[in-house]
Amino acid sequence: MRKRLWKTSLAGALGMLLWAAAPAFGSGPKSDFDGNGVVDLNDFFLFAERYGQSAGQAGFDAKFDVIGDGKIDQADFFIFAQNFGARADDAPAGPRKTFFYVADFPGNGVSVMDSATNLVLSYMPFRGPTGIAVSSDHRTTYVVDVFTFLALRDDFNVDYTLPLRDGAKVVLSPDNRRAFVTQGAANNILYIDLEKKAVSDTVAVGRAPFGIAISPDGRSLYAVNTGSGAGSLSIIDVQTRTVRDSLRLETAPGLIAVSPDGRRGYLNSAAGGRISVVDLTANRVVGTIQTGGQLVYGMAFSPDGKLLYAAASGKVVVIDVERNLITDRINVADDTGPLTVSPDGGRLYVSAFSQSGGGAAVYIVDLATKQTLGKIRGFIFPLDFAFRTSAFDVPPSRRNKPATRGDAAVRWAEREKAWRPE
């Protein structure tokens, strides 16, 4: 049963996955409504003006609905009161810690882990989280779920939310001023102005866009359209907000990884075990890499950009991108999905499924020895990952707090003893 669920999630994630309901996360937003850096009396007056409003009413502003339930009421006021007097730039002194975020789409939540111990510190419920991005200064984490774009501050509090229509993946501009979100049902890319905390535009692309990447110079966006059939790649001019070119692909891709120099794009495949290589200066497919598997899913570059790691049918293939040759294969589990590389390049984190090994887990691989160090259990299908370094620790109100749904609470009980060294 678990094997079938994993297979369904893995294949469906290449298009737009079905939504599974769960309560939206919203405990402890900053409540700095006027954006002046402190929660003060002016924020109280702004909140009071909108108290009692509901979604759909004239003048309703979602940023005052701080818990995201469609009403501005007493529950929102309690959160506001907890944060009154807080300052946005109040960061504690002391050592900085690196956190590892795991978005579990069918599990309807994001787990926050200590990357040094691999222990889960907190669990945040969302409605089918599909994408995570962290600003380059590590002060803000952006989460995309099926219906919402959420900005989480450095201290783990929700800053603001924006509605989405079938949200999928998110990428940030190099200057951290904009976010770009694929919306599968709307067939477009959403432009979000992160300074104004508002949607600024949409760009129509192909059918059911899922994966997205941006060039290192921030001038071009690459959206992978999963649609029906082979799929395509839309190349968007960020400044003019127009589709500059579109490439039809024969490998049914869902994701794209852009090389650090911006010259090439690598697209996965839902069938045939191939990786398509696109010359992004000429906007044409220049070759394919045969992995030997049935399905290629997650891809990630080493920090120096010399190696590409790709999940392929239970293994991770290591590709020398200068020669586009596979130099190694790392056995992980029965099936492998999304993956990421640690900031120091020393470890690989792979979403994988093992029939005999307890089902779905995040496997941690030592890239020096190519050996599995262990696995983190308690997930259904981890769909995206992110690392963030902060002086803030997970606050006591969030630490070791399970979701309210029964199945999620059971998974939390598994997580408390989830780290399994090999």
Q: Are residues 54 and 163 in the same domain?
A: no
Q: What is the mean pLDDT of residues 363-368?
A: 96
Contacts of 228 (CB under 8 A, 6+ apart): 207
| CATH code of the domain containing 39 | 1.10.1330.10
Residue 119's beta-bridge partner residues? 114
Question: 129: closest CA among 147, 105, 157?
Answer: 105
User: Is 396's pLDDT higher than 70?
Assistant: no
Least-confidence region, from 38-52, 295-309, 399-413: 399-413
Containing structural domain, residue 335: 2-30+88-421
Determine the pLDDT at residue 129.
96
Q: Are residues 189 and 71 in the same domain?
A: no
Q: Are residues 164 and 23 in the same domain?
A: yes
367/188 Cα distance (integer angstroms): 37
Q: Are residues 201 and 260 in the same domain?
A: yes
Determine the pLDDT at residue 13.
47
> Highest-confidence range of 29-43, 55-69, 393-407, by mean pLDDT?
55-69
Burial of 332 (0-12, 13-18, 19+ CB in 10 A): buried
Tokens 């050592």 label which residue?
95
Q: Are residues 132 and 16 in the same domain?
A: yes
Number of domains in the chain: 2
Tokens 């939540």 label which residue?
109
Question: 349: closest CA among 364, 367, 359?
Answer: 364
C-beta separation of 187 from 205 below 8 A: yes
Q: Are residues 219 and 318 in the same domain?
A: yes
63: left (phi over 0), alpha (psi -120 to 50) or beta: alpha
Q: Are residues 15 and 65 in the same domain?
A: no
Determine the pLDDT at residue 90.
54
Q: Are residues 279 and 248 in the same domain?
A: yes
pTM for this entry: 0.76
Question: 235: closest CA among 248, 244, 226?
Answer: 244
**What pLDDT, in 10s, does the model give residues 1-60?**
555 555 555 545 444 332 222 333 333 345 778 777 778 888 888 888 889 998 888 888
Determine the pLDDT at residue 402.
42
Determine the pLDDT at residue 314.
93
| CATH code of the domain containing 331 | 2.130.10.10
Determine the pLDDT at residue 383.
95
In angstroms, the Cα distances linking 220 to 173, 191, 245, 262, 268 are 10, 13, 11, 10, 20
Residue at which a domain ends, from 44, 65, 87: 87
Mean pLDDT of the chain: 84
Least-confidence region, from 229-243, 318-332, 379-393: 379-393
User: Is 395's pLDDT higher than 90?
Assistant: no
Q: Are residues 93 and 53 in the same domain?
A: no
User: Is 164's pLDDT higher than 50?
Assistant: yes
Confidence of residue 325 (pLDDT cuts 50, 70, 90): very high
149/162 Cα distance (integer angstroms): 5
Q: Are residues 159 and 48 in the same domain?
A: no
Q: Are residues 77 and 138 in the same domain?
A: no
Q: Are residues 81 and 94 in the same domain?
A: no
Residue at which a domain ends, from 42, 60, 87: 87
Tokens 């492998």 label which residue?
336
Determine the pLDDT at residue 89.
54
